[in-house]
Amino acid sequence: MKNTVFKGVGTAIITPFDKDGNVDYESFGKLIDWQIEKGVDCIVAAGTTGEGSTLSDEEHKAVVKYCVEKVNGRVPVVAGTGSNDTAYAIELTKYCCEIGADAMLLVTPYYNKATQRGLIESFTAIADVSTKPCILYNVPSRTGCNLLPATVAELAKHPMITGIKEASGNISQIAEVAALCGDDFDIYSGNDDQIVPILSLGGKGVISVLANVLPEETCEICNSFFEGRVADSAHLQLKLLPLINALFCEVNPIPVKAACAAMGYGANKLRLPLTCMEKDHEEKLLSLMRENGINV
């Protein structure tokens, strides 16, 4: 039986920057503490939402190391170590294993658009060097590369590949993954608007952007479902849908960076090619945050 890294909510945490664009570790630490205080089950560092693709190699390693040390075993830490360069992903995975990250998040290689055989060989090479569980990450809208169910089933045979973050948005595809891989393989929603549907297929939880701003409520969606209160879970999912949509009205993490800045976690600063949120979108997002009880 493979080890489940976490069940419930893993926050795909932002990497706060200061006004000059440097990593703001003070804000990062406060955000990590607040997330754990509010009940999240895992912190996912230096992923898409954490702007891992524009952190330098040194920054990427430092952000994960800081997160591991700040969390200090309170919840698991999953490190984003995937890359379009398999050799670099191997190097980063080795480092994050050594410094105490609890699991790795491996995005499909972007831009290269590998074949399914290439995906199998690449993920296998990374998992072979990992001493910690590896969670695959399928997000074809960003990478141009779709990890097909049969490929996932083949990769699931690897003892260190324990699950997948599914952000394809294709519920039929996700159902096929669940059918092929069975109970010994963990599926996490990668989309906040599909938490309940994926839980209904046996999913273990969500790797969430929404949890950056509403951690308790995101946890409640999962916990209600796990406790058998499915209608309550679905009701909260639908209630939060306008806010979820606002958090994705521009490419992630543009909106959530604006939201977290408004809450006092770093500056509203991103690295090019990402730019700050359009003013009309930001005003709507902040209004929806206030409607949901967030003080901004």
Does 165 qualify as catalytic in the annotation?
Answer: yes
With residues binned 3-state (H G I as helix, E B as strand, rest as coil), the percentages for the chain, rounded to 5, are 50, 15, 40
The active-site residue, picked from 61, 66, 132, 137, is 137
3-state DSSP of the chain: CCCCCCCEEEEECCCCECCCCCECHHHHHHHHHHHHHCCCCEEEECCCCCCHHHCCHHHHHHHHHHHHHHHCCCCCEEEECCCCCHHHHHHHHHHHHHCCCCEEEEECCCCCCCCHHHHHHHHHHHHHHCCCCEEEEECHHHHCCCCCHHHHHHHCCCCCEEEEEECCCCHHHHHHHHHHHCCCCEEEECCHHHHHHHHHCCCCEEEECHHHCCHHHHHHHHHHHHCCCHHHHHHHHHHCHHHHHHCCCCCCCHHHHHHHHHCCCCECCCCCCCCCCCHHHHHHHHHHHHHCCCCC
The active-site residue, picked from 165, 204, 257, 269, is 165
- Quick one: residue 228, left, alpha or beta (phi over 0 = left, psi -120 to 50 = alpha)? left
Does 265 qualify as catalytic in the annotation?
Answer: no
Return the biggest CA–CA distance within the chain: 50
Which uninterrupted H or E stretch holds 117?
helix 116-129
Question: Which residue matches tokens 């770093």?
Answer: 266
Residue 202 and residue 196: Cα distance in Å, rounded? 10
Active-site residue numbers?
137, 165
